[in-house]
Amino acid sequence: MRQFRVACVQNTATRDIRSNVDWVCENIDTAAAGGADFIALPETVGLIEPVNAQIPALSYREADDIGLAAFRARAQALGVMILVGSQLICEDEKIFNRSFLVDGDGEIRARYDKLHLFDIELKNGEAYRESDVIAAGDKAAVVATPFGKLGLSICYDLRFGALYRALAQAGAEFITVPAAFTATTGKAHWHTLLRARAIETGAYIIAPNQCGHHADKRYSYGHSLIIDPWGEILADGGADPGIIYADIDLDRVAKVRGRIPSLKHERPFTLEQQ
């Protein structure tokens, strides 16, 4: 099935895991009723805790994760594929920011641990040190789905264009970018970076983002986006919680890549400093 309907659920996660998960599950049901075959959720969809020291006590092993279990159950009940943007997962005494692809039987088809961690201090005083509590992944991921090949990424990965070129050259026809992109950086860069990734890969970009005020000084930008391989925005989630939809035709990927075949024109080079 090369044509399918995608939905992005845009939420405002707080410190209340159960409330977050219940709200998202209700909106998964709504998205499925709206005809979605593939439902994408944001990064850290079940919890945003701005204080790093509190995160270990609120993270679960994969087998015990409340949100993951609930989302798998919804996927099975509805017969839809769900991209769990990410959950904070404990494994081998480390915590990973892990994305899950769940099929219509509720089975986990793929996992991806965020490669690039968000360590930054902004001029307005906002500071983020993801690496203080999260362990970085070391493997990119492309997975076969009933629709076509999917490339996985998470949030800050968006700023590393070489990752997306690699995913596309490995066959990815659509790429997910679940995020909790900050309000400050989102306003400046979110639309531009996502359109650039679509254009340079000739792939659909599906980017569910968190929105609004989470807790303390933590705000996310919203504006979940679905973008076609030519860089055209098919749907924009705006600033508030909700759902966006778009109809995807993966045959368009080959057409766009045929018009501008830059993925075939990569050349090795050396860098000379003069």
Q: Residue 155 catalytic? A: yes
Give burial (CB, 10 Å; 0-12/13-18/19+) of 231: middle
Q: Residue 43 catalytic? A: yes
Under 8 Å between Cβ of 190 and 156: no
Of 8, 114, 149, 211, which one is the catalytic site residue? 114
Of 43, 49, 130, 173, which one is the catalytic site residue? 43
Of 8, 49, 149, 155, which one is the catalytic site residue? 155
Q: Residue 139 catalytic? A: no
Give the active site residues: 43, 114, 155
